[in-house]
Structure 1
């Protein structure tokens, strides 16, 4: 079961910073679902996952909310 982090209403860089903090407290392989309303998050989350060991498993958008499923990579 994935954990959930709701950062709706926050703007860059806060969604990424809070996501990183949450992932730091998770075990390798655990998944985190992040709910974001900042449109810039699309670029931010892709870049974050491309430059870390974390995997962007899924990204969806509905009614102004961007949902990211991220799998914690190796530390």
Structure 2
């Protein structure tokens, strides 16, 4: 059966709604330490600066930003931890 959904799915969803910069990145960095290499995590945030901060965090730390999605209430990011 062909795969109909090409978007990555994360086993971990981390709700960071209501937190302001720099807390979403700081909490994401701390949570990433507990994940196995290659694991996916989805971050949900209402911080408008997250669209800049999360991609920058991924780039600086070597993680892959697998998906970025605008939501009515904020943003959702799926990150793959570096191997």
TM-score of the alignment, normalized to the shorter chain, above 0.5: yes
TM-score range, shorter chain: over 0.9
Larger Rg: 2
TM-score by length of 1: 0.93
Q: Extract unaligned runs of 5+ from structure 1.
A: none
Q: Deviations over 1:39-69 (max 9, x none)?
A: 1000001111111121100000111220000
For 1:4 and 1:56, how far apart are their aligned partners in 2? 15
The number of aligned residues is: 74
Equivalent of 1:35 in 44, 47, 59: 44
Question: What stretches of structure 2 of length at least 5 have no aligned partner?
Answer: 1-9
Alpha-carbon RMSD = 0.9
Following superposition, the deviation at residue 25 of structure 1 comes to 0.5
Superposition pairs for residues 1-75 of structure 1, below 5 Å? 1-74=10-83
Offset at residue 18 of structure 1 (A) = 0.6
Runs of 4+ in structure 1 deviating by more than 6 angstroms, as ranges, are none
TM-score, normalising length from structure 2? 0.85
